[in-house]
Amino acid sequence: MSQFFGACGTVFVGVGFLCAPFAAGVTFVVYVFLGVSEPAAYSIGAGVAAGVLLASGIWWAYDRRYQKAGLVYREQYMHLRRRLDTARNRLDACRLACPLGLAGAAQRDAEKIAKELHALLEEPQRGGVWISAAGYLEAWSDLNRLEEALIFLLPRQQVLAMAQDDVSRIEGSGPASLRKRLDVDIAALTAGAVTPPPATGDELAVRADLVLVRNSINRTREDQWGQLVGSRNNMMLAAAVAGVIAYLALVTVVVWGIDHKALQVAAAFVITGTLVSLLHQVTLVGTAEGGVADFGQSTARLLSATFVSGLIALLGVVVLEGMNLTVNGAPVFTPFAKWSQTFDWTANKSGFFWAAAFGLTPSWLFQMLQQRTDAIKTSLNASRAGGGT
């Protein structure tokens, strides 16, 4: 899913989530308030032109500006730069004169990863890798591999400090088997004589096991980051699809020549559902772990839930009117002979209540999704390395 989002999903979100609602708004204003209803092509054309103009601006920003890590999520970029600079300084300080054996292979791996990571962060990257957050996930994965390779090269005191840090990272959340392995490895390193790198014999085996333990912790975190970013991207794609469908629905009713007042009431139903969802979502955003950057996941949920709820509010009123539901012979929804009466606020005052009720339903579903992502963020916060995010 992340590969699709990086390739074309970012563009689709820009069109569906931003351009389509903007085009719909322009079409609505021209059709209703400016009174340009005949022919319908005028109001539709004005909306399409406005959408294309906005899409051009998005394309320019997408293609020309947001191609470097520091321009999208500045905080993440600075974390990565600091950790990379620290790792490279340590690599320079403990570089082997004769890189042979396992320690030599680790040094060559570290040098290659450091070079590739520097290029990833500083050189322009096309394809939306930073906006989709795929580039940051790749960068953190590379940084983890770099720090793991350094365990074979660093002085014993530094390796012990990293091992103690890993103990705190798995405390209360990591497998008991990893904790036992760390305890054994720390005891072995502490009991050994202090010798300069490269390590040999039993100490080399201990360091290799510490690399495996840290790799297991890091891989788990990387999977959790992928789930968090994937959740954000999926929500934005869902909202983009809803935006495109909503615009096509507006174009359809404009072509049919819907009454201006009916379209205004329909828009009022959408606004009612949107406001109810917005108030509900505002109470949820920011309640999760504040120490974990979520790459805009909370904001994406706020926007997506609010946007989708407005559309569901209108759809719910239409569906409820068409079903003619009754309870003990009494109609749940006031039946009307014509659809124009359904969208007459003086005749269908209960429509606003049902719009609010249906608008809140998707918001509750998004809250359930947020509970899952909050659990991921809590786990990520508990397993952070001492060096940063």
For 262-301, the pLDDT digits (tens) are 888 889 999 999 998 888 877 765 444 455 667 777 777 8
| pLDDT at residue number 221 | 87
Q: Is 288 helix (H, G, I), strand (E, B) or coil?
A: coil
Residue count of the chain: 389
Neighbours of 190 (CB within 10 A): 10
Highest mean pLDDT among 180-184, 211-215, 255-259, 367-371: 211-215
| pLDDT at residue number 197 | 55
Average pLDDT over residues 220-239: 84
The pLDDT tens digits for 194-221 are 555 555 567 888 899 999 999 999 998 8
List CB contacts of 12: < 8 A, sequence separation 6 or more. Answer: 237, 240
What ranges do the domains of the chain cover?
Answer: 76-227, 259-389
Cα 353 to Cα 356: distance, rounded to the nearest angstrom: 5
pTM of the model: 0.78
Query: DSSP strand E in the chain: where?
Result: 326-327, 330-331
Any idea what DSSP says for residue 294?
-
Task: For residue 332, give both structure tokens.
Answer: 């749940």
| pLDDT at residue number 284 | 67
| pLDDT at residue number 83 | 94
Cα 8 to Cα 353: distance, rounded to the nearest angstrom: 39
The pLDDT tens digits for 30-77 are 888 887 667 888 888 999 999 889 888 877 777 677 788 888 888 889
Contact 313, 274 (CB under 8 A): yes
Percent of the chain with pLDDT over 70: 83
Q: Residue 128: which pLDDT band, with cuts at 50, 70 and 90?
A: confident
Task: For residue 188, give both structure tokens.
Answer: 């072995």
Cα 215 to Cα 230: distance, rounded to the nearest angstrom: 22
Q: Tell which residue, 160, 180, 161, has the closest CA to residue 170.
A: 180
Q: Residue 257: which pLDDT band, with cuts at 50, 70 and 90?
A: confident
Task: For residue 60, give both structure tokens.
Answer: 């320019």
Contact 218, 144 (CB under 8 A): yes
Cα 225 to Cα 295: distance, rounded to the nearest angstrom: 10
